[in-house]
Amino acid sequence: MNIIISGASKGIGKELAIQAAQNGHSVLALARNKELLQSLEAKNDFITAISLDLISDDCSKTISQWVDNNGRIDVLINNAGQLINKPFLETSTSDFKGQFEANVVSAINLIQVVAPFFMGKAHIVNITSMGGIQGSSKYPGLSAYSASKGALSVLTECLAEEFKQKGVSVNALALGAVQTEMLENAFPGYEAPVSPAQMATYILEFACSGHKFYNGQILPVALGNP
């Protein structure tokens, strides 16, 4: 399969790219950190790593060139995102805007670029959060993050309807706590029960086969209701 992964320079995204390449898939790894991406690309010949700002850059030319070399796109995993932990009354409008740009607009931009290149039974997987699911436990300081992930979840449902006639399935995985650098920065000292490598294994399997069973679903992937 030909797989595009955003937010691939570290954490879950990095593990996804490595595992996908190890399984023989052709991977386009996208992120802003050029140095980390170059290190990732050096690990496997099946990985093409490109530094992009998905909020401001026009990446259609880059995607087109990769598709020309690979023939089609089978899977898009929107993994890019940010997390801030700040009380609501201290969270500025700029903070909210930044969270929505990183967690929603980046996915919108990439989907709009990639959509014309899907062929056959393609699959878009949006990585959301348990915090963005209505009725799940909520925590102080995560209003901007949870609201943005909730928006991505609803977008998933909407796009599943728009794309189903084209044979493209759209699903979201709402993750619980995973021991990533992003989580550590937001919650210093907290130890999550799942590693990035473990979560990447699950996401990759779902991305490659989940579209056979699901469309328009927001599926919790957590060991509880965090």
What does the pLDDT look like over 87-138, one tens digit per residue?
A: 999 999 999 999 999 999 999 999 999 998 998 789 999 999 988 888 888 8
Enumerate residues 6+ apart whose C-beta is below 8 A from 199.
Answer: 12, 15, 175, 178, 221
22 domain residue, yes or no: yes
Query: Each residue of 139-165: pLDDT tens digit?
Result: 889 999 999 999 999 999 999 999 999
226 domain residue, yes or no: no
Per the structure block, which two tokens stand in for 30?
């996208």
- Helix or strand holding residue 2 (H, E): strand 2-6
Q: Are strands 168-175 and 218-221 parallel, antiparallel or unpaired?
A: parallel
124 domain residue, yes or no: yes
Token pair 């937010």 is found at: 7
Token pair 């070399």 is found at: 69
Residue-wise burial string across 149-180, b where 16 or more C-beta atoms lie within 10 A, e elsewhere: bbbbbebbeebbeebeeeebbbbbbbbbbbbb
pLDDT of residue 191: 80
Per the structure block, which two tokens stand in for 77?
């995993």
CA dist., res. 21 & res. 26, Å (int): 6
pTM as predicted: 0.93
Domain with 208, as residue range(s), is 2-221
134 domain residue, yes or no: yes
pLDDT of residue 100: 97
Cα end-to-end distance, the chain, whole Å: 33
69 domain residue, yes or no: yes
CATH of the domain at 170: 3.40.50.720
CA dist., res. 119 & res. 220, Å (int): 28
Domains identified in the chain, total number: 1
Average pLDDT, the chain: 91
